[in-house]
Amino acid sequence: MATVTIRYWAAAKEAAGVAEEICEANSLAELMTKITRNRETLATVVKRSSFLVDGDPVGRRAHEEVLLGDGVTVEVLPPFAGG
């Protein structure tokens, strides 16, 4: 199991109640399941968010296919207003 740092931005940070946390998961899908368990507001924000894994955009790849290595950082980026 990989140890992963999750960084939350904007509305995701507010919904999570923390800016950063550590979790263990082997895929982005598994990570999303773990961090949203019993956190309905965060689950809603995560559904609309995009993700970076060590700075690389996940894009439209299936979260089950995004494998996480030990020590990676996943950033949760909710939609931002403005431009």
pLDDT digits (tens, 9 = 90+) for 26-52: 999 999 999 999 999 999 999 999 999
**Contact status, residue 1 vs residue 27, Cβ threshold 8 Å:** no
pLDDT at 39: 97
Query: pTM to 2 decimals?
Result: 0.93
pLDDT at 80: 78
What tens digit of pLDDT does each residue of 48-81 get?
999 999 999 999 999 999 999 999 999 999 987 5
List of domains in the chain = 3-77 (3.10.20.30)
pLDDT at 81: 58
What is the spatial distance between Cα 4 and Cα 25, in angstroms, rounded to a whole number? 7
